[in-house]
Structure 1
Amino acid sequence: MLRQITTLLRPAPEIDRIRDAAKVERQYAYWRQRILYASLIGYAVFYLVRKNLPIAMPVMQETMGVTKADLGLFLTLHGVLYGVSKFANGFLGDRTNPRWFMALGLLLSAMMNIFCGFTGAALTFGVFWVMNGWFQGMGFPPCARSLTQWFSPAERGTKFALWNTSHSIGAAAALGLCSLLVTHDWRLCFLVPAVVAVAGAVFLVDRLRDSPQSLGLPPIEAYWDMHEGGSGQNADADSEATAFREFVIHRVLLNPMIWVVSLANFFVYTLRYALLDWGPTMLSEMKGIHVSKAGWSVAAYELAGVAGMLLSGWMTDRVFRGRAGRACAVWMGLCGVCVWLFWRSTSQSPLVYSALLCAAGFFIYGPQCLVGVIAANLASRRAAATAIGLTGLLGYLSTVLSGWGLGRIADTAGWDPVFVVLLASAVVAGLLFVLCWNAVAIEHVEKS
């Protein structure tokens, strides 16, 4: 059984190249569209079995006797282990077949949710939920591999931004579905999404495929060169027989710019999750807005992020010519302005605060999306999943600050010091992105 799984996870072998140029064009157009929508839907389903806990937490406190401190610890450990898993599985994601690797991760995450739904002990629940964090980390690396295998550096800003909407789509779907289920039984918040996730795993196996070469198509660099009117002779510069481990060490672990981007992501995620997780409490305690309306404001924050992702991706490709660091620096500065206005405003209108929160979401989700583009471009498509995994590791380590840390600060000193931390995070992230101002895809550097 284990041998069969290992065989399935191996990268699909290359097959004989299709020689008919017209057929190559048709096949590439079909598979690029299919890979994009399949990975987008698949990753959105991951969110159904990841963002279902917050809706169940209030009822769990009453029925299981779980304290806020316990739940906060579950969230923090889940986030940290997810970050570690995203990085560790990045190595595997670059060397496995995304079709099976992503489906396996979703299936195992569904199993953890089933266990959570049937357990009656807080400690057992916590163990299963933290383990879920590890399997959740198997979702992004195969997506990174697929996107960089099928889309060129010249279009990754737009395509990554479009794919990145899966975060908000999945989160919104989880909130909506579980809001209905929790009125019947909090356990359904885990069991029903788990069933959907099993179906999602089957969907991924059916829809996803590995590299273009495994379908008889040229690598993306050769295809894009032909598509843009070139000779098609610029084959993949990464295909030399360099040991993968040495390649990763050189392109990722010893690449100072990837560490700069990863550190910037720590502060991006501090802002993102602080506003997402603490937003309802901030609106309720600071601005006097009823918690029901506050919940809708945070939902709008997520949806505004979709527009921010798409616009930032378009700007990266069309305005900044693939230099995503420039878009990130601008977006973080504007996000900081929105957070400062939210903090200092004395308006009595809930609409004002909702609008400011939406504006902050619009600007924070641009960098959240484009960090992956910068990392993939710097590392090349061969090590894209590993590089993005490293940025994700530092991003989710921020849950120690954005979750437990900010909660502790708010308890002891109030909300003002929390906003000082948030503004400092926006400034530091913006400055780090300025260091990436001229960062461009390594393929462009090698080609020139």
Structure 2
Amino acid sequence: MNTSKLDATYRKFRWQIILATFLTYTVMYISRKAFAAAAPLLMEDLGMTVVQFGAASSIYYIVYGLSKFSSGLVADRINPRTFLGSVLILVAIINVGIGMTENVTMLLALYCLTAVVQGCGFPPIAKSISQWYSKSERGGWYSIWNTSHNLGGALAPLIASAVIAATGDWRYAFYVPAAITALQAVICFWLMRNKPETYGLPNVGEWKGDAKQIAINKRSEAGLTMWVMFKRYILTNPIIWLAISGDLCIYIIRTVTNDWVSVYFVKELGWDLVKSNSLVAWFEAGGIIGGLTSGIISDKLFGADRWKTILIYSFILVAGMVGVVLTIDISYLLVSGCFFVIGAGIYAPQMLFALGIIEASHADGAGAATGLKGGITYIGAALAGAPIAMIESAYSWNGVFMILGCIALILIVLTCSIIQLDKRKSQDTASNNKNKLASSEVI
């Protein structure tokens, strides 16, 4: 294959990958969030209690995390086209089943089954992005893909509300997303591709001439079994565990912000529902800006160093949290601006932790590494439910705010620890390479 044809093929497939993965995660969010959007009507129709709904949400987070972990272990061994296309078909079928159900038990069983299938979505996407985009450019591309979270999260309630308003039936809030998901399955089978080497293309690091990616490839041993690779490059990697702990902090703060904002501002401060819910919209808008800017900043200003960029956005997060405390009794606009800042400070580290974990593991271990991360960090989402309610009950909302402040400080400490450990690791690698070079010159 001549150079011009190779370049054209690579560029074509890369655009297909980013488009297919972006649309896939957007559509999966639309299907996933349909339950929450239709909850008030289906609770009334089927007689579901608030306790049942709350329990289902907590179980969902746990099952989703476990599914992410287990699917991550196998995602690195399966063609992502087959994996993602099959996942989308299953999501569509389950959504149709939820729409057809007539009792609470079956509804909750299908909802938990949705968590199992939805948890399989991210690992193959992480694998594809790591294989088609090299380290020095990956932050920018990943940040573009990452906005699919926000787009899907914003479209889900709009689509569900419009469909329910048009039909008067909550069931169509599941049928319509099911149809959209089935269509995306077809698009996914059409656009997705396996790794470049499958099509006679060079590794993306070689194609881009990216020394950082080539270094990752060189330190990644070939021919390892899944378990040996997982144990050697992921399970015993201290940087990955510190990063997962930092991401756990992010998920707790993010989930508390999403799930408890309207409760606090309506019940404690007397705000109306629309006004309080608008803070979540500001939060998501900030998340889009944070996600987009952080990847580009880490690529262009810090030489693809994800950890230093995370530290900057962690301080932005703390600034936003302090800002809410200081402005909460002064101005709605100031408070909403602070939620915008918090969104940027949440979604940027969330994206970069995933990217950093991928790059700290084996070159072919993106699925397993992100699967482990997802399995643990969604515990953070579960911790933002009943435990937060217990803290509020015992120590009021001031206790909740203090806990969140402490978690944010722990995030900063963990990130500083990663930076130091990564620096020491780089120095050791440079020293070892220098010694090898000196030895070869002597010989």
Summarize the Cα distance change of 1:57–1:348 in structure 2 as closer, same or farther, 3 Å threshold.
farther
Q: For residues 235-250 of structure 1, what are the structure 2 equivalents within 5 Å?
A: 236-237=217-218, 238=220, 240-250=222-232
* Corresponding position of 1:188: 172
Say yes or no: does 1:424 pair with 2:406.
Answer: yes
Q: Is the 8 A contact 1:309 1:362 kept in 2?
A: yes
Q: For residues 192-203 of structure 1, what are the structure 2 equivalents within 5 Å?
A: 192-203=176-187
AA matched with 2:180: V
| Higher deviation after alignment, 288-297 or 158-167 | 288-297
| Higher deviation after alignment, 400-409 or 377-386 | 400-409
Q: For residues 6-25 of structure 1, what are the structure 2 equivalents within 5 Å?
A: 18=1, 20-25=2-7
- Which residues of structure 2 form unaligned runs of 5+? 434-443
Say yes or no: does 1:285 pair with 2:299.
Answer: no
Q: Could you say what secondary structure the match of 2:402 adopts?
A: helix
Q: Percent identity?
A: 27
- Cα separation, 2, equivalents of 1:324 and 1:233: 18
* Corresponding position of 1:333: 315
Q: For residues 212-223 of structure 1, what are the structure 2 equivalents within 5 Å?
A: 212-223=196-207
- Cα separation, 2, equivalents of 1:160 and 1:300: 22
Of 244, 251, 271, the match for 1:262:
244
1:339-365 Cα distance to aligned partner (Å, 9 max, x none): 232134343532222221111111110
- Cα separation, 2, equivalents of 1:245 and 1:95: 12
1:94-143 Cα distance to aligned partner (Å, 9 max, x none): 11100110111121122222111111222211111011101001110111
- Cα separation, 1, equivalents of 2:18 and 2:46: 41
Of 373, 379, 387, the match for 1:405:
387
AA matched with 2:28: F
Q: Is the 8 A contact 2:27 2:184 kept in 1?
A: yes
Shift of 1:62: 2.3
Of 71, 86, 93, the match for 1:89:
71
Q: Could you say what secondary structure the match of 2:304 adopts?
A: coil
- Cα separation, 1, equivalents of 2:365 and 2:170: 41
Q: Is the 8 A contact 2:34 2:160 kept in 1?
A: yes
* Corresponding position of 1:298: 280
Q: Could you say what secondary structure the match of 1:415 adopts?
A: helix
- Cα separation, 2, equivalents of 1:243 and 1:290: 56
Summarize the Cα distance change of 1:235–1:117 in structure 2 as closer, same or farther, 3 Å threshold.
closer
- Which residues of structure 1 form unaligned runs of 5+? 1-17
Shift of 1:443: 11
Q: Is the 8 A contact 1:108 1:135 kept in 2?
A: yes
AA matched with 2:258: L
- Cα separation, 1, equivalents of 2:152 and 2:108: 23
Q: Could you say what secondary structure the match of 2:384 adopts?
A: helix
| RMSD value, Cα | 2.3
TM-score, normalised to structure 2, is: 0.90
- Cα separation, 2, equivalents of 1:399 and 1:235: 32
Summarize the Cα distance change of 1:352–1:182 in structure 2 as closer, same or farther, 3 Å threshold.
farther
- Cα separation, 2, equivalents of 1:414 and 1:125: 34
1:47-101 Cα distance to aligned partner (Å, 9 max, x none): 0111122211222332222222211111111111111111111111111100110
Q: Could you say what secondary structure the match of 2:5 adopts?
A: helix
- Cα separation, 2, equivalents of 1:271 and 1:392: 16
Say yes or no: does 1:77 pair with 2:59.
Answer: yes
AA matched with 1:171: G
TM-score, normalised to structure 1, is: 0.89
AA matched with 2:164: V
AA matched with 2:162: L
Shift of 1:159: 1.6
How many residues are treated as equivalent by the alignment?
425
| Higher deviation after alignment, 82-91 or 417-426 | 417-426
Q: Is the 8 A contact 1:112 1:132 kept in 2?
A: yes
Q: Could you say what secondary structure the match of 1:276 adopts?
A: helix
Say yes or no: does 1:37 pair with 2:19.
Answer: yes
Q: Could you say what secondary structure the match of 2:253 adopts?
A: helix
* Corresponding position of 1:11: none
Q: Is the 8 A contact 2:27 2:181 kept in 1?
A: yes
Of 208, 212, 216, the match for 2:192:
208
Of 102, 107, 112, the match for 1:125:
107
- Cα separation, 1, equivalents of 2:263 and 2:170: 22
AA matched with 1:352: L
Summarize the Cα distance change of 1:255–1:173 in structure 2 as closer, same or farther, 3 Å threshold.
same
1:238-260 Cα distance to aligned partner (Å, 9 max, x none): 36223332122100011111111
Q: Is the 8 A contact 2:70 2:371 kept in 1?
A: yes
* Corresponding position of 1:12: none
1:359-391 Cα distance to aligned partner (Å, 9 max, x none): 111111001111111101100331011111111
